[in-house]
A = this chain, B = another copy of it.
């Protein structure tokens, strides 16, 4: 059944065990497995037999020490968990992660999940990865700085605050215009924009598109910024106050889904009907948007495609065949009409 004492002693077979069994040197086994150099056909056959016989599985850590690559990609999001997680912990990040995991594995890369945490530095110190997917980073994103210092390849999903970074463009402008036009078409003439208070490109672009629409339509623009860490509660308070000051509000543009459910709570508290009195639209078409009553009109961002684009861009950055500031564009967003806007 076997060759040496060591190999029989129950521990995992090593490349040397295989080499001994096949009557070759470890280097040759390595070449046969990785394909780094040619190996004679007959020799290769003996090696393959030995591998099968010893049930050999290469030690990936040992390989990584030499190659300097660990074959894994991290998905990072520093969005406060009040927003990114919520009760069911699903959402934007997990939807991307699910598709990214599949795309990654097709390139023999593992996908590791790095949830938002109080101490990002200590967290990253213990997780090995060759590159990272960073989800909609804010300007003061704690992960971003760490990754820069480590000079780890990064691809952002969504335009990053400083544009000197490879990313997948999520078409923030087109998405906002889609939502605004729909709000307008569904009869809304006076609607505030509710966004988070941190400095994200998505907020900036959204605000810009919103203000453009307002001036064009002669609507008085009202941009409400809610601290992200307050989550739903902050949005609820915000809409209540806004309606108190201006009862004529007949719609709300609230791109972040967690803030949207907060708005819905506020409207229920005030006894306003949706979509009768107020039409509500949000951006991300996730669990929250769909299980709200009534369900929220949202946008299909094609996140499965986006995840695939991000992974292949990242792999190219890691390999050095793409610049560290290359940009790819997500497919055009598509409106998903639901009852919250009268659809």
Contact = CB atoms under 8 A, between A and B. Distances in A.
A93 B90 CA distance: 11
Contact of A110 (B102, B127, B291): B127
A49 to B, nearest CB: 17
Interface residues of A, number: 46
A304 B102 contact: no
Interface stretch (A64-72, A137-145, A194-202, A268-276): A64-72
B112 A72 contact: yes
Interface in A61-118: 61-62, 64-65, 70-72, 85, 88-90, 93-95, 97-99, 101-102, 105, 108, 110-115, 117
A90 B60 contact: no
A8 interface: no
Interface of A: 55, 57-62, 64-65, 70-72, 85, 88-90, 93-95, 97-99, 101-102, 105, 108, 110-115, 117, 123, 125-128, 149-150, 286-287, 290-291, 295, 304
Given A61-B70, A291-B291, 14 more contacts: A57-B125, A88-B95, A89-B102, A89-B304, A90-B95, A90-B98, A94-B98, A97-B97, A98-B115, A101-B114, A105-B115, A110-B112, A110-B127, A291-B295
